[in-house]
Amino acid sequence: MSSSEYFVALEPDIISACAEHERENGHKREYRRCLPIGSYFIKFDAYSSFLPEVTTLKYLADLAKNDASAPRVPQVHHFFHRNGRMAYVVMELIQLVEVPTADLAVKAAQAVLWMRGVPAPSDVVLGPKGPGRARHVVFKNRVAPLDFVSVKALERYFNKAIEKLRLRFKNIADVSIANEQLVLTQSDMDPSNFGVDAAGQSVILDPGEIGWLPESLALYMLFRTTDFARDVTACLYAPEDAAHLGAHPNLASMGGVRVMLAQAAGPNLNNNGQERSGKYDC
**pLDDT tens column, 185-205:** 999 999 999 999 999 999 999
83 pLDDT band (50/70/90 cuts)? confident
**pLDDT higher than 90, residue 211:** yes
Q: Check if CATH label 1.10.3470 holds for domain 101-263.
A: no
4 pLDDT band (50/70/90 cuts)? confident
State the average pLDDT over residues 227-237.
98
Domain spans of the chain, in order of start: 3-92, 101-263
- Tell me if 254 sits within 8 A of 217, measured CB to CB: yes
Residue type, 109: A
Cross-strand pairs, 40? 37, 92
For residue 91, which of 118, 57, 134 has the smallest C-alpha distance? 57
State the average pLDDT over residues 165-178.
94
How many other C-beta atoms are found inside a 10 Å radius of the C-beta of residue 272? 13
The pLDDT score that the predictor gives to residue 214 is 98
**pLDDT higher than 80, residue 278:** no
1 pLDDT band (50/70/90 cuts)? low
- Tell me if 91 sits within 8 A of 72, measured CB to CB: no
Give the model confidence (pLDDT) of 89-130 as tens digits.
999 999 999 999 999 999 999 999 999 999 999 999 999 998
The separation between CA 216 and the C-alpha centre of its own chain, rounded to angstroms, equals 15
**pLDDT higher than 80, residue 2:** no
Indicate the CATH number for domain 3-92.
3.30.200
For a pLDDT cut of 90, what percent of the chain falls above it? 91
Pair type for strands 76-82 and 194-196: unpaired
Q: Which residues contact 170 (CB under 8 A, 6 or more apart)?
A: none
Quote the CA–CA distance of 261 and 273 in Å, as a whole number: 16
How far the first Cα of the chain sits from its last, in Å, is 58
- Tell me if 268 sits within 8 A of 281, measured CB to CB: yes
281 pLDDT band (50/70/90 cuts)? very low
